[in-house]
Amino acid sequence: GLLALREGPLLEAALRALPRRPDVVIANATGRDHPRGAGLALHVGAELDLPSVGVTDRPLLATGAESLFIEETEVARRVRTQPGARALVVHPGWRTELDTAVDLVLAACRGRRTPEALRRARSAARSLRAEQGG
């Protein structure tokens, strides 16, 4: 229900602890495809005043084939980053237009299905879980 309230402060603290402020945040989260119109990607970007983009495997509320809508507003887009791979859902977040978000995600994928930053974060999380026995 309230992912931004649960995980937002941790994500914000991690981003603030970086030695260099990022140019943009790519989060495994939604933007405006959310029951309250603002998912974690949008919240974190707004809190840090950084452009942000959300990337998910499927839409939360939005419907459509390639362009995903809530009512008549396009809130996300399905993007196939590799031939034959399952499409990602790209959500513009804070101070990011949809076309820019799509371009950024495609550039960040570097020939893979998901953006490099998300792959590295998932790998680090798996390693930590394994070290902690869980």
Q: Give pLDDT tens digits along the chain (134 positions).
A: 578 888 889 999 999 999 999 999 999 999 999 998 899 999 999 999 999 999 999 999 999 999 999 999 999 999 999 999 999 999 999 999 999 999 999 999 998 999 999 999 999 999 999 999 86
Q: What is the pTM of this model?
A: 0.91
Give the pLDDT confidence score for residue 4 in this predicted structure.
81
Sheet with 25-27, strands from edge to edge, namely 25-27, 52-56, 88-92, 73-79, 67-70
Give the pLDDT confidence score for residue 119 in this predicted structure.
94
CA–CA gap between residue 59 and residue 37 (Å, rounded): 13
